[in-house]
Structure 1
Amino acid sequence: MKPTLTVRQTLNNVAGLRKAVAALTEQDVYVGIPADHTNREGAQGISNAELGYIHEFGAPANNLPARAALLPGIRAIQDDAAALLKDAAASALAGKPGAVETALNKIGLLGQNSVRARFVDNDWAPLSDRTLDYQPLKKDDTGAVMTDKKGNPQRKKSRRERGNINPLLDSGQLRKAYTYVLRQRQGSMVIK
C-alpha cells in the first residue's frame, strides 16, 4: 500500500464571526416618540412625549383614563420581531451583516405601524360628553379670538358635530409622532 497524503485547508473565520456578532449587538431599535418629534403644532407647554406618557398610563387626578397605544402595540409584534431577529442573526453569521440593519428597520416599521393602528382599533374608554360637546374658540392667524358682528366670540364645531368621537384622534399629531429610530450602542458587547 502506498502512503497517501491528505491536505486540508482550514479557514479561520474568527474575524468574520466577531464582525457578525458586532453587527448583531451594535444597534438598537426604539419605537416611541423620539426627541425630535416632541413638539406639537400650535401648542405651547406640553410636548408629544409628555402627552403620550399621560395617555399611556392615564392621569386619575385629572380624570383621564389610560389609553395605551405604545405598550400594546409593541406586544402585538413581539413574535414577528423575534422571527426577524432570528433570521438576521443567521444571515449575519453566514457573512451578511447588513441583514441586521434591514431587520431592525423592518421591526421599527412594524412597531410604528402597530402603535399607530391602536389609535383606530382599540378598546379605550370613550370620551366624556363634556369633551364631545366642547366648542373651542375660533382664532385668527395671530391667535386672537374671532368675534361676530355683535362682538360675541365665535366657536368651532364640537367633536360630536364633526363626527370625531374617537379618543386621541382630533388632529392626529400624537399618532404621527410615534415612529422609530435606530441608535448605536454606546459600548459594544463584543471584546475586540
Structure 2
Amino acid sequence: MTMKITVDRVSQVLASIQELAGKQVLVGIPATKASRDNEDKSPLNNAQIGYIMENGSPIANIPARPSLIPGVEDQMESITAHLEKAAKAAMSGNAEKVDDELNATGLIAQAGVRNRITNGDFAPLAKSTLAARRKRGRTGVKPLIDTSQLRNAMTYVIRKKD
C-alpha cells in the first residue's frame, strides 16, 4: 500500500499546537477592571475586595465568601469540553477555532463566577453592614451584591504564558 501526501500541513499543525500550548485563560479581575466607580469612597479596588471576599478577613470580622474558584468549578464539565475542542482544533491546524474555543472557555468560566456571586449561599451580612447599606439608601441583604461592581468586574483574559 502506498501513501500519497497531497497537502503537507505539518508546519501549520505544529504552529497551532505551539500557539495553544503558549496560551492561558485567566478568570477574575484584571487590572483594567480593578478600579471602582467610587460612590462610597472605598479606598479598595475591585481586585482587593474580591480577594477579601474570597478569603475573608479575620481582622475585619469578614467571613470568607468564595465565588471565584467555586464558580469556575461549577462549570468544569463545560470548560473541559471546550478545552478538548481547542486541542482538537490545534491538532488539525485550525488556529481560529482554537481561539474561538478559548474564548468560549473564558465566557463560560466568567458566567459561572458571576452566577455564583448572584446565587451563592454565603454567610449573611452583619447587622452593621446592613445598617450601613440602609444609610446609603440600599435595601439589599445579599452578600457580595451591593453596587454590582464586583460581579461586573469578573471577566476573563487570554494571554501568553509567562
Q: What TM-score do you get using the length of structure 1 for normalisation?
A: 0.75
5+ residue gaps in structure 1? 1-5, 137-154, 187-192
1:41 aligns with 2:48: no
How much does 1:44 deviate?
Answer: 4.8
Equivalent runs, 1:97-136 vs 2, <5 Å: 97-134=95-132
Equivalence for 2:158? 182
Separation in structure 1 between the aligned mates of residue 133 and residue 52 of structure 2, nearest angstrom: 23
1:26 aligns with 2:22: yes
Give the 3-state SS of the residue equivalent to 1:182 in structure 2.
strand
Name the larger-Rg structure. 1
Q: Which amino acid aligns with 2:148?
A: G
Separation in structure 1 between the aligned mates of residue 136 and residue 90 of structure 2, nearest angstrom: 56
Equivalence for 1:10? 5
Give the 3-state SS of the residue equivalent to 1:16 in structure 2.
helix
By percentage of residues, which structure has more helix?
2
Q: Give every structure 1 segment of 4 or more consecutive aligned residues whose post-TM-superposition deviation is greater than 6 Å.
A: none
Q: Is the 8 A contact 2:67 2:116 kept in 1?
A: yes
Q: Which amino acid aligns with 1:106?
A: A
| CA deviation map 1:137-187 (0-9, x unaligned) | xxxxxxxxxxxxxxxxxx543x4xx2x11012111111111111111234x
Q: Which amino acid aligns with 2:142?
A: N
Q: Is the 8 A contact 2:13 2:94 kept in 1?
A: no
How much is the aligned-residue C-alpha RMSD, in angstroms? 2.0
| Percent of paired sites with the same residue | 36
